[in-house]
Amino acid sequence: MPLPAALRELDPTQRHTVIASFLGWTLDAFDYFLLTFVILAVAQEFHVPKAEVTYGLFLTLAARPLGALVFGRLADRYGRRRVLMFDIVLFSILEVACAFAPSLAILLGLRFLFGVAMGGEWGIGASLAMESIPAASRGFVSGLLQSGYPCGFFLAALVNWLLVDHIGWRGLFIVGAMPALLVLYIRRKVPESPVWQAQQAKPRQGVMASMRGHWKLFIYLMLLMAAFNMFSHGSQDMYPTFVQETLKIPAGSSTAFLLTALLNMGALVGGLTFGSMSEKIGRRKAIIIAALLAIPVIPLWTYGGSLLLLGLGAFLIQVMVQGAWGVVPTHLNELSPDAVRGTLPGFAYQMGNLLAAITATAQTWLAEWRGGDFAFAMSAWIAVVAVVLALLTWLGPEARGRGFGKDGGPA
């Protein structure tokens, strides 16, 4: 569907809901990625190897399934809107608390708690948006929502570039309070999900009863999302370290910011393009094409040899990585039963994150085994994961255009 037509399908209230969900994921990712830019600075302050600081990324990702389950169940019971507001305030507070951590151990503990709060946002925001818009707009909106993640990465890069030399890594985490302001917008402009409201007339079921007959689907989605998260985190989390250590470009330099900006521009283009494309060619086909097209881009991305080629590679790799991801919000929500749509997509997503949580640390180990060669570590990782992701997607179901509120099954 052409972009203008997809937007015209939405009335003003639906647009506010989509904007709020997009901004929620953007600002959540902004808070997460701040740590990736200051791994070396944190390691130097606490006098520890940088691999120990990457445990903060691991713990955040590992905690997200707990948040998805807890906040997802709350959203299924008490509504998407109010639980989303509480969750945003919570992860903002925890982000600020990281600025005052007196030791690495406390910082890691706070990143775990931040992960719990972060785990709740994606599933609730995606279900609120998908349940509030016409089926024909889901592909484009899915790509838009998922593009919030690279937009958050870009914001983190921008703030790091502009401020880190003036306020230090601790000051960056104080800036992380910014997402809390989004709650004011949600409270004023965003209504509750109409599908959730309609479900309130039906008898309530516990999660086990609601999931009866759907556990095979959950296991499949969990494995699929593990591959997806290894794909995205494998291409993003250690990229700032690759730029600093392998390319020898200082963290706060305009060159480092330019490379990160190109990376995130590619992610934005990819999410919108493949999300919209999935409305025509199907969810699975769009994911497979994006995943496999990432492979021939890898040499440019890590071995480009010049700033121009490295920038082109950064742009193109994220067109493919986030192109595949742009289909995820609608794909998971269409596959999920109505009664657990606040829980299942987010919980499967974050359980996949748990399985993929070792990504940054594993890439660091692999790079150190090769004498600090992050180019090799990231290239090999992405090539293997792209094939696995395409295969898992090909083997799975699809429910493009499924009606919400009708509990139809996967196509």
Q: Is the dihedral of CA 362, 364, 366, 368 positive or negative?
A: negative
Number of Cα atoms under 13 Å in the Cβ half of residue 375 = 16
Supply the pLDDT for residue 209: 60
Q: Could you say which DSSP state residue 202 is in?
A: S
In a domain, 400, yes or no: no
The number of distinct structural domains making up the chain is 1
In a domain, 379, yes or no: yes
- The rounded distance, in Å, linking the Cα atoms of 125 and 349 is 13
In a domain, 118, yes or no: yes
In a domain, 50, yes or no: yes
In a domain, 402, yes or no: no
Q: Please report, as a single letter, which amino acid is at residue 15.
A: R
Domain with residue 62: its CATH number is 1.20.1250.20
Supply the pLDDT for residue 353: 78
In a domain, 197, yes or no: no
Intervals of the chain under pLDDT 50: 1-4, 407-411
Supply the pLDDT for residue 57: 84
In a domain, 28, yes or no: yes
Question: Residue 115: which domain range?
Answer: 3-192+214-395
Number of Cα atoms under 13 Å in the Cβ half of residue 34 = 28
Task: Read off the pLDDT of residues 91-134 as tens digits, 9 standing for 90 and up.
Answer: 899 999 999 999 999 999 999 999 999 888 877 888 888 888 88
Cβ neighbours of residue 327 under 8 Å, at least 6 residues apart? Answer: 139, 142, 143, 146, 274, 275, 278, 283, 286, 287, 290
Please state, in angstroms and as integers, the Cα–Cα distance from residue 46 to each residue in 107, 110, 337, following that order: 11, 16, 47
In a domain, 21, yes or no: yes
- The rounded distance, in Å, linking the Cα atoms of 407 and 86 is 28
